[in-house]
């Protein structure tokens, strides 16, 4: 039982970074994740914008730091079933292989990440039914095999589930524009003769040099960006017929493709809602964590007293932001514990 320890829920990069920073201060940390390995979504990613570090490489580096720190106890294949606050402590109930266990902590970080939007909700695109229609996340998972396939034409469709109040979510998922440009470039570099099209509503580059990166895809690799929406994907003669509209030119378009990639939204993790409600925290209208107002807390990652959050459970973010938020949440934990110690004296 870790009476002086800190609980970190979620073993993605945000949770890993929070655990590393807290343990560096000499505190005991329990890092809990329902999966069988650390790294969350990022361990399955290829090159990450902006410096193109491979996702699995980053995760291995963080995992090694954690392995070498005796202050961090990693609990994999474990779910936090219940979370409650009592008398200045946090009581967590765990489920591992169906066996319940309870531990007490002094503070906690929730870093439960995000889920991927279900592309099947856009039935007109045929995801899950037509071979050749995949999501951007599928592309990351299967990149090596995809780039070896003979592809004459590829079509990337952005904002599938993002910025769509009728079928998806109203917000921008922030990372899609850049990973779509990166994937289009990787495809062109692997198969220079391939025709690559990107259908978009707007281009939002939320990164330093992001606009230059997208412009380079257009000008140097001749990726064709078309402002418009794809209305339907139809299997025909072993290929995929794309029916769309170029909204700048005001004309309908048809083209055949071998590969269609859907840039799907980041949506709140299902596990976040339960944990937040149990400790009296709040979610915004989209289901992401709502922090304590800045005027009421010294740390922007505060959820409730003694509990902080980090990463995409708060809102869609890129890997760099997730790492920074992990460090910010760790700073919040250490500040909270220090102030409590001072008050006790």
Residue 233 maps to a domain: yes
Q: In terms of domains, do 76 and 169 share one? A: no
Burial class (CB in 10 A: 0-12, 13-18, 19+), 189: exposed
Q: What is the CATH number of the domain that holds 274?
A: 3.50.50.60
Given 247, 265, 283, the domain boundary residue is 265
Q: In terms of domains, do 131 and 229 share one? A: yes
Q: In terms of domains, do 139 and 219 share one? A: yes
Residue 260 maps to a domain: yes
Given 230, 265, 300, the domain boundary residue is 265
Given 265, 299, 319, the domain boundary residue is 265
Q: In terms of domains, do 121 and 250 share one? A: yes
Under DSSP, the state recorded for 345 is -
Residue 338 maps to a domain: yes
Domain count, the chain: 2
CA distance 306 to 269: 22
pTM reported for the whole predicted model: 0.93
CA distance 281 to 283: 7
Q: In terms of domains, do 259 and 273 share one? A: no
Q: In terms of domains, do 86 and 213 share one? A: no
Q: In terms of domains, do 206 and 326 share one? A: no
Domain hosting 84: range is 6-113+269-344
pLDDT by 10s per residue, the chain, length 345: 445 799 999 999 999 999 999 999 999 999 999 999 999 999 999 998 778 899 999 999 999 999 999 999 999 999 999 999 988 899 999 998 778 899 999 999 999 999 999 999 999 999 999 999 999 999 999 999 999 999 999 999 999 999 999 999 999 999 999 999 999 999 999 999 999 999 999 988 877 788 888 998 899 889 999 999 999 999 999 999 999 999 988 999 999 999 999 999 999 998 899 999 999 999 999 999 999 887 788 788 999 999 999 999 999 999 999 999 999 999 999 999 998 765 544
Residue 1 maps to a domain: no
Element (H, E) at 160: strand 153-160
Q: In terms of domains, do 234 and 299 share one? A: no
Each residue of 110-145: b (16+ CB within 10 Å) or e?
bbbbbbebbbeebeebbbeeeebbbbbbbbbbebee
Q: In terms of domains, do 72 and 199 share one? A: no
Residue 76 maps to a domain: yes
Q: Which of 6, 37, 3, 9 is nearest to 276 (CA)?
A: 9
Q: In terms of domains, do 261 and 291 share one? A: no
């Amino acid at each position: 039982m870790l009476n002086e320890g800190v609980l970190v829920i979620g073993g993605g990069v945000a949770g890993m970074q929070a655990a590393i920073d807290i343990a560096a201060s000499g505190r005991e940390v329990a890092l809990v994740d329902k999966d069988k390995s650390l790294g969350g979504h990022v361990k399955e990613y290829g090159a990450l914008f902006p410096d193109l570090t491979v996702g699995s490489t980053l995760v291995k580096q963080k995992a090694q730091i954690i392995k070498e720190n005796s202050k961090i106890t990693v609990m994999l294949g474990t779910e936090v079933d219940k979370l409650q606050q009592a008398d200045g402590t946090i009581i967590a109930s765990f489920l591992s292989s169906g066996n319940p266990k309870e531990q007490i902590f002094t503070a906690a970080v929730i870093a439960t990440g995000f889920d991927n939007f279900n592309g099947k909700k856009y039935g007109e695109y045929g995801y899950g039914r037509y071979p050749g229609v995949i999501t951007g996340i599928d592309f990351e998972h299967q990149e090596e095999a995809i780039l070896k396939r003979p592809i004459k034409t590829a079509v990337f469709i952005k904002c599938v589930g993002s910025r769509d109040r009728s079928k998806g979510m109203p917000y921008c998922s922030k990372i899609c524009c850049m990973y779509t440009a990166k994937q289009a470039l990787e495809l062109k570099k692997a198969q220079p003769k391939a025709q690559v099209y990107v259908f978009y509503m707007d281009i939002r580059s939320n990164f330093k040099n992001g606009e230059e990166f997208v412009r380079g895809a257009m000008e140097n690799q001749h990726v064709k960006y078309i402002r418009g929406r794809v209305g339907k994907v139809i299997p025909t003669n072993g290929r995929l017929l794309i029916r769309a509209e170029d909204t700048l030119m005001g004309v309908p378009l048809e083209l055949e493709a071998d590969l269609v990639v859907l840039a799907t939204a980041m949506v709140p993790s299902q596990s976040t809602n339960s944990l937040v409600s149990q400790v009296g925290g709040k979610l915004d209208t989209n289901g992401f964590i709502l922090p304590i107002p800045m005027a009421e807390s010294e740390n922007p990652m505060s959820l409730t007293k003694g509990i902080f959050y980090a990463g995409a459970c708060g809102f869609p973010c890129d890997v760099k932001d997730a790492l920074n938020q992990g460090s910010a949440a760790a700073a919040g934990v250490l500040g909270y514990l220090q102030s409590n110690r001072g008050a006790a004296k």
